[in-house]
Amino acid sequence: MRAPASNASNASAGALGKCTMATFIVLLGPPGAGKGTQAKRISGILGLPHVSTGDLFRENLADHTALGVEAGEYINKGQLVPDSLTIAMVEERLTRSDCAPGALLDGFPRTLAQAEAFDEMLEKSFNSKVFCVPCIEVDPDLLVERLSDRLVCRNGHVFHLRFSPPKKAGVCDLCGEPLYQREDDKAETVTKRIEVYNVQTAPLIQYYEDRRLLRKINGDQDIEAVTQDILSVLNEANAVNLTGTKIAQKGNGIE
| Catalytic site positions | 35, 110, 150, 182, 193
CB 44, min distance to ligand AMP, A: 18
Q: Which is nearer to ligand AMP, 81 or 143 (CB)?
A: 81
Only segment of 38-46, 77-85, 130-138, 159-167 that touches ligand AMP (CB under 6 A): 77-85
CB 178, min distance to ligand AMP, A: 19
Only segment of 80-88, 133-141, 206-214, 237-245 that touches ligand AMP (CB under 6 A): 80-88
Q: Which is nearer to ligand AMP, 74 or 163 (CB)?
A: 74
Q: Which is nearer to ligand AMP, 75 or 214 (CB)?
A: 75
State yes or no: residue 57 binds ligand AMP (CB under 6 A): yes
Cα–Cα distance measured from residue 172 to residue 5, given in angstroms and rounded to the nearest whole number:
44
The interface with ligand AMP within residues 151-210 (CB under 6 A) comprises 184, 193
Q: Which is nearer to ligand AMP, 48 or 117 (CB)?
A: 117
State yes or no: residue 53 binds ligand AMP (CB under 6 A): yes
Among 29, 34, 107, 253, which residue interacts with ligand AMP (rule: CB under 6 A)?
107
Instruction: List Cα–Cα distances, 202 to 28, 29, 193, 194, in angstroms.
Output: 9, 8, 12, 10
State yes or no: residue 72 binds ligand AMP (CB under 6 A): no
3-state per-residue secondary structure call for the chain:
CCCCCCCCCCCCCHHHCCCCCCEEEEEECCCCCCHHHHHHHHHHHHCCCEEEHHHHHHHHHHCCCHHHHHHHHHHCCCCCCCHHHHHHHHHHHHCCHHHCCEEEEECCCCCHHHHHHHHHHHHHHHCCCEEEEEEEECCHHHHHHHHHCEEECCCCCEEECCCECCCCCCECCCCCCECECCHHHCHHHHHHHHHHHHHHHCHHHHHHHHCCCEEEEECCCCHHHHHHHHHHHHHHCCCCCCCCCCCCCCCCCCC
Among 110, 146, 157, 160, which residue interacts with ligand AMP (rule: CB under 6 A)?
110
Dihedrals φ, ψ of 13, to 5°? -140, 170
Among 30, 34, 54, 101, which residue interacts with ligand AMP (rule: CB under 6 A)?
54
Cα–Cα distance measured from residue 34 to residue 38, given in angstroms and rounded to the nearest whole number:
6
State yes or no: residue 24 binds ligand AMP (CB under 6 A): no
Among 81, 115, 239, 242, which residue interacts with ligand AMP (rule: CB under 6 A)?
81
State yes or no: residue 108 binds ligand AMP (CB under 6 A): yes
Contacts with ligand AMP by CB under 6 A lie at 31, 53-54, 57, 74-75, 78-81, 86, 107-108, 110, 114, 184, 193
